[in-house]
Amino acid sequence: MTKYLTVLFLLCFGLSAVAQIDRGGFPSLDNRFVEDIDDTTRINTKEIKIKLSGKTFFKDYKIIDYKNDTTFVDTTLGIKKDYSFNYIRKDNLELIAFANQGQTFNNLAYTFSNNTLIPKIGARAQHFNFYQVEDIKYFYVPTPTTQLMYRSGMEQGQIFDGFFTFNTSEQLNASIAFKGMRSLGIYRNSLSDHGNARVTLNYHTKNNRYNIRTHLVAQDLNNDQNGGLTDDSIEAFESGDPNFNDRNRLVTNFTDAKSTLRGNRYYFDHNYKIWTKNDSLKRIPSGLTIGHVFNYERKNFEYRQEIASPIFGDAFTSEINDKLKYSKLFNEVYLSLNSPITLGEVKFKVNNFNYNYKYNSVLISDDGFIDSNLNGNIIAVGGEWNTKLKKINLNIDASTNISGNLNGHNISAKASFVKDSLVRFNAGVFRNSKAPNFNFLLNQSAYKAFNWQNNFKNEDMNGFNFEIDAKKWIYASVEITNINNYTYFDAPNPGEQTKPVQASETVNYLKLKLSKEIKFGNFALDNQFIYQNVSAGANVLNVPDFITRNTFYYANYIFKGKPLFIQTGVTFSYFSKYYMNTYNPVISEFYLQNSQKYGGFPLLDFFVNIKVRTMRVYFKLEHFNSSFGENNYYSAPTYPYRDFTIRFGLVWNFFI
């Protein structure tokens, strides 16, 4: 399916490229598109009449997420765009990447407030580039729009990510998008080969009574796994031996392993306004809406290795071919009432979750009997209240499982206060109880040590967060989380294999984040700082005490008429030493180690970014200080961070 969607995307983009309007001497506006076209444009000797009523502004090109929060297509070039110009297209301040792009990340910090009632499949290290429901964007645009993103790979390969969105009427907007990545990497057996295809549809009737948002996603993520460097190679790497400047000469633990995550999802969220009325006196839109959410998803996770490695202990077979299949079907029906009586929107919801986490057969061994699958059917009920009291926005959401073989509940309350256009306060509390991820409960493998079936208790989390965003002064946030029955992977003693463990002690986690940009003329110093503390449970949750990122840069228009905007500077990143988690490719998870600390090395990147009309070009000398510093930089034990690399890329928007 991914191949067909790729071909369809390229055809759509080809049509879009042919149809681009030649604006001629149209002035270059910074992130503003004003069309006042009422003449005829010739393309391939055929006449196409394009008429737009009034003027079209950049805010008319809307991007909508699954919660109906709306932003717009942004073609500006700010320092935050530089931070998110990577293969996951997100700011990775709280992560450290592996040597090759497309591989996994190790966590430097955590956020525990994004909770659900339902456990996930696991294999978390393979999911960083996996598009979840929350990652899919819908569009509402007045004219067809295209965005293309390209970035060079590591050694060989590149990343391409693009979308094409269009409308057949004001009511119906559709998009097709594809992200493809292939990167060889500089270490043995570290090839990454990913494909993410997405199709979306956003429709509403003329009277806005009926609305639907739907998407189809097909994903195929393949990663070669080398198990990290051998002991001799680690010594050669850290000594700086020039004979091993070609990293392909360093021996890795294996060269025949590969992990794959495939998935398809079919999703729609639609609703119908049974009754609607605008109360002009109380200025509260009233109405009664009934809605339905459908989500069907299938995933396949595989780990393959031609010859079993003694690193992971004894095996049942000489060749490893672990396969896991997972499917889920989620249906939710909700009734939403918005009226002066309820002081906002009150929503009642009932959902049904059916899951099947499955291996090919049961396992009978000397250690006992292990089932082939976990399956069940869960019914949950809940409600939401959204209101605005003067300048305070309030959201309360509560849900609980009432039947099925998994217990759980989730309660959250959020409040935001906007003092003026420059100051915003956000605060929230949450309480969540749910079963650990499925791979903690059941796992099968040809490696004998990676077979288990557990009856763990629910993880219970309570948390509080507060945020202040004062644009002229500072951004600050604090998160405090208390976790009972924290579940993690551990290898308790040297030589032992990774096992799931549930902590007997409570974990108390604090994260404080500060951000401030100081500007003086055309120069700026952008600063981010994170402080973390685990006051209880420090032996089961390892994080660095602090993380910092500081960017000094120059930004200005150059040349007469301001045709080109340039941004250039240096970024300094650093995190303190800590007991960094180790990566296990068999289960695609990180596990605890408390024997050696890693970190404490600086990362320096030099960049030059330019913007011409709606095109942004990125050029970066990544980790350029590696050529004259110590070779003590690791993303995980036995996995070195990337060396000095020259990267190039661009993001280009097209508007008809």
**In degrees rounded to 5, what are phi and psi of residue 448?**
-60, -35
| Averaged pLDDT, 409-427 | 89
Does the pLDDT value for residue 37 go beyond 60? no
What local confidence, expressed as pLDDT, does residue 35 receive? Answer: 31
42: CB partners within 8 A, 6+ apart: none
What local confidence, expressed as pLDDT, does residue 56 receive? Answer: 66
Does the pLDDT value for residue 16 go beyond 50? no
DSSP 101-162: TTS-EEESS-------SS-----GGG-TT---GGG--EEE-SS-EEEEEEEE-SSSEEEEEE
Other beta carbons within 10 angstroms of residue 63's beta carbon come to 19
What local confidence, expressed as pLDDT, does residue 45 receive? Answer: 33
What local confidence, expressed as pLDDT, does residue 283 receive? Answer: 53
Instruction: Write out pLDDT tens, residues 578-614.
Output: 999 999 999 999 999 999 999 999 999 999 999 999 9
Does the pLDDT value for residue 69 go beyond 50? yes
What local confidence, expressed as pLDDT, does residue 544 receive? Answer: 97
Lowest mean pLDDT among 2-11, 532-541, 616-625: 2-11
User: Tell me, what amino acid is at 231?
Assistant: D
Lowest mean pLDDT among 34-38, 166-170, 374-378, 481-485: 34-38
Instruction: Write out pLDDT tens, residues 181-232.
Output: 999 999 999 999 999 999 999 999 998 899 999 999 999 999 999 999 999 9
| Averaged pLDDT, 135-147 | 94
Lowest mean pLDDT among 103-112, 360-369, 501-510, 513-522: 360-369
Among residues 558, 618, 647, 621, which one has the least CA distance to residue 78?
618
Q: How far apart are CA 363 and CA 500, in angstroms?
A: 18
Predicted TM-score (pTM) of this structure: 0.89
Statement: 2-655 belongs to CATH 3.40.50.2000: no
Among residues 567, 629, 576, 573, which one has the least CA distance to residue 599?
576
| Averaged pLDDT, 144-159 | 92
Contact 618, 650 (CB under 8 A): yes
9: CB partners within 8 A, 6+ apart: 162, 164, 176, 177, 178, 197
User: From the centroid of its chain, how far is CA 392?
Assistant: 29
Q: How far apart are CA 439 and CA 357, in angstroms?
A: 9
DSSP 582-627: EEETTTTEEEB--S--B----EEEEEEEEEETTEEEEEEEETGGGG
